[in-house]
Each structure stands twice: as structure tokens, then as C-alpha cells.
Amino acid sequence: MDYYLLVATLSLIFQIAVFVLLLEGYILRKQRRFRLHGIFMLLSVVLHLVMILVIMVPSFVLGVIPLIATHAFDATTILGPVHVAMGTFGVVLGVWIVVGWRLRQSLEFCVPKKKWMRLTLGVWLTSLVAGFLLYLSLSWQLLFG
């Protein structure tokens, strides 16, 4: 298996695992277990940041930017910047929400940020879909010949 495909596939699997953590956090919120919900969200943001720094930034700089520079409009040149923009916005929102929470017991912080939490989830999902489509556009030849 190609090294870059292996790294991209592991990154995709990891992002799906983070998505599962987010879903579990959502379920915990529905069960009114707000502190545990916050801990799951904190864990999701931290794991996502680690993947961004260790895998995604180097992959974008070494793999996607050269493709954008050499290819006119194709899936990579469109999806790459969309994925980066939405992902950056989503992680900034996520960090802002989690850092502001600081493991508090009280809900008084959460209620005013509810609309921001929903926006963050929507932005993160958009980034996840764009990242999956980018993965397919970059890996299609390797996966399906």
C-alpha cells in the first residue's frame, strides 16, 4: 500500500472516530449529563487538534498545495481550500467553546453558546464531508486503479 494512502486512510479513520465521540457527546447532552458531554467535546477537540498538527498540516503543505499550484480547476483545487477553511473555522470555534467552558459544572456558560455549538457542529460536518471527498479525489486512482 502506498505510504500516503495509508496515512490518509488512518487520518480518515481517526476523524470518523472523533465524529463518533461527538455523537456520543450529543447523546450525553440529550440525557442531560452536561459535564460528561463537555468532557467528550473537550476530548474531541484535543484529538482533532493533534491530527491537524501531526497529519493534516504536513499533508496539505506537501501534497495538496503543489497540486493546487499545478492543476487548474479540478476536485482537489476546489475541495482542498474548502476543507481547510471550514476545518480551521470549526476548530477555532471548538477551541473557543471548550476553553471558555473550563470544566465548569454550571450551565450558565452553555446556554448562551448553544447557537455557536450548533454552528460549530455544522461547520465541522461540512469540513468532514469535504475532507472525505478530498480523500476520494486524491486516492481514487490508488484505490480503484
pTM above 0.75, yes or no: yes
What pLDDT does residue 1 have?
Answer: 55
Number of domain units in the chain: 1
- The CA distances from residue 126 to 85, 109, 111, 144, in Å, are 10, 26, 24, 25
Q: At how many degrees (to 10) do helices 75-101 and 34-51 cross?
A: 140
What pLDDT does residue 69 have?
Answer: 74
Digitized pLDDT (tens) for each residue of the chain, 145 residues in all:
577 778 888 888 999 999 899 999 989 989 989 889 889 999 999 999 999 999 888 888 887 777 777 777 777 778 888 898 999 999 999 999 988 887 676 777 777 888 999 999 999 999 999 999 988 887 877 777 6
Q: Round to the nearest angstrom and report the end-to-end CA distance of the chain.
A: 13
Segments forming the whole domain that contains residue 25:
3-144
